[in-house]
A and B are shown apart, each in its own frame.
Chain A
């Protein structure tokens, strides 16, 4: 039983983890995920790829909403910007995918400047509403700027090859997405414990105090928004590579809500939380499906008529239940379990 945590140097304070056990578990998990495509079926691999893309998007949003405390309802819009940038550069301008994907992030970050400058001067929910407005406006732009976006027809995305390997299917897609996810997660972990990350947390916790300490609010809020949008743009590019088709309908408004639900379920401000939330919500429809297949009479007319709506409702109920019963999210739940484990048999 560990009796306490004594931190004697700054390096210890900011270390990702001081526990060998944590590192070895992380290593084991990595190895498992690396081996996964050889252990499970293709459909499950596809699900995992979607979950990893959701992780990238959620980590990006978490940086803005969880760490800096600014709500965005424009996630769908930034995903669309990233996906369209990647698709247009690859298909119309012949860029290789290793260039077009970072470009998708950069364009998305630049767009976030446009949205951020008017609204980040203000405190409160205003970013939420401007980003909602942005999602509507970008939808309009994509449909009407036909010379650039092919309007409503959408774009097929194919031929993303690196060294002759097609990155858009099967194991190649899986490992590329996995690599990007790992990079993004570590980048996020590192930014959070840097000077910039601490400034963001200061803004979230008390903006006036942060300003007194010398944090330039507008600048750091813009940083947060840009970094977040960059990552979300990459997630959008990954969506375009996985689905191989982009169209405005792919980026429905509901995506923004789902993204928020993910980071809330996981636990706001925690990167591990964003990961857990993304996995949980991506796999929830499957879980509900298994539940219904196991316990419901699939031939009853109630089942055939309502099962799909019931799935949607369950989704809403999960969000409400977590907020009500476990507001720290899945990561809070995990912490409780861990405390219980390490303190057992003593209550803490």
Chain B
């Protein structure tokens, strides 16, 4: 197996994790205009809940997700209702700061409930190494890449064809106009949070299955920011692709340049992107230079 191939493969794995987390960000940003700083905490909380379900009922992966996803959606809904809905009409900035406060609270609650020790959590996925094209993978890594693929396709179809998805895009394009044609904007906001929480739970479970379940999992929320920017903030599909790109860039940087550069290469990319293509790879080009 070739060194480069190995780097590319592992880049895709970590990129898929970024992509999934970034999709959650983008979904909420697209329909509500809010950068959700509690996304990383949502990822962590849902992963821990899934862990408890797993260790109580001993489920395998798909049944586990069948239980985890609805619970996560309910959490998304509750958070939206309790913390975001009452802020409707306040400046975006205030709502963003509410998510910052929410992040602190969720982090504290998670550690209170599950303690600071990390857990081994394979989410019912087998751990035997499989080889694809000469490159070894853990099944959980393939699940991660697969999940990104499936969710990207599903997300695209949802936004393109479903009534709800089109309504969501309408809200993103112009909230007032959407309201005038009879779309319930607040309902769309709630749905965005529920779907985002669902994606967060998939990201969280698969991340934990690959890289252990620890209370610093929330940090991946910040790590996914380069992908969000590169994808263009408001593009759900773009974030997924950008996640993969960032993952591969990071691993190539580490492999060929080395010395801890991986952790900041993504952020260097952010600055370059903002200089040359501020709307990202797929974002809508209404960046104003005023």
User: Which residues of A from 217 to 266 have beta carbons under 8 Å from B?
Assistant: 217, 253, 257, 260-261, 264
Instruction: Specify the chain B residue showing the minimal Cβ separation from A319.
Output: B101
Instruction: Specify the chain A residue showing the minimal Cβ separation from B276.
Output: A118
In the complex, A243→B148 CA distance in Å?
A: 46
In the complex, A116→B186 CA distance in Å?
A: 36
User: B4 contacts the other chain (Cβ, under 8 Å)?
Assistant: no
Which residues from B are CB-within-8-Å of A319? 97-98, 100-101, 104
Enumerate chain A interface residues (CB-CB to B < 8 A): 71, 118-119, 121-126, 128-130, 132-134, 136-137, 140, 143-144, 207-208, 211, 217, 253, 257, 260-261, 264, 268, 306, 309-310, 312-313, 315-320, 323-324, 327
User: Which residues of B from 224 to 276 have beta carbons under 8 Å from A?
Assistant: 225-226, 229, 233, 259-261, 263-264, 267-268, 270-271, 274-275
Partner-binding segment picked from B106-114, B157-165, B166-174: B106-114
Instruction: Specify the chain B residue showing the minimal Cβ separation from A139.
Output: B264
Q: Are A122 and B93 in contact (CB under 8 A)?
A: no
Q: Are A132 and B289 in contact (CB under 8 A)?
A: no
Q: Are B225 and A129 in contact (CB under 8 A)?
A: yes
User: B133 contacts the other chain (Cβ, under 8 Å)?
Assistant: no
Q: Are A312 and B104 in contact (CB under 8 A)?
A: yes
Which residues from B are CB-within-8-Å of A126? 274, 278
Which residues from A are CB-within-8-Å of B2? none
In the complex, A122→B290 CA distance in Å?
A: 7
User: B117 contacts the other chain (Cβ, under 8 Å)?
Assistant: no
Q: A123-B287, A137-B264, A323-B87 are in contact. Are A118 and B100 (CB under 8 A)?
A: no
Which residues from B are CB-within-8-Å of A136? 263-264, 267
Chain A interface main SS type: helix
Q: A-B pairs with the 5 shortest C-beta distances? A: A316-B104, A319-B101, A133-B267, A316-B105, A313-B108
In the complex, A76→B285 CA distance in Å?
A: 31
Which residues from A are CB-within-8-Å of B87? 323-324
Q: Contact check: which of A130, A211, A313 meets B270 at CB < 8 Å?
A: A130
What are 20 A-B residue pairs whose CB atoms fall within 8 Å in the complex?
Answer: A71-B93, A119-B271, A121-B289, A124-B287, A133-B226, A133-B268, A133-B270, A253-B222, A260-B97, A260-B100, A261-B97, A268-B93, A312-B104, A316-B101, A316-B102, A316-B105, A319-B98, A320-B83, A320-B101, A327-B91
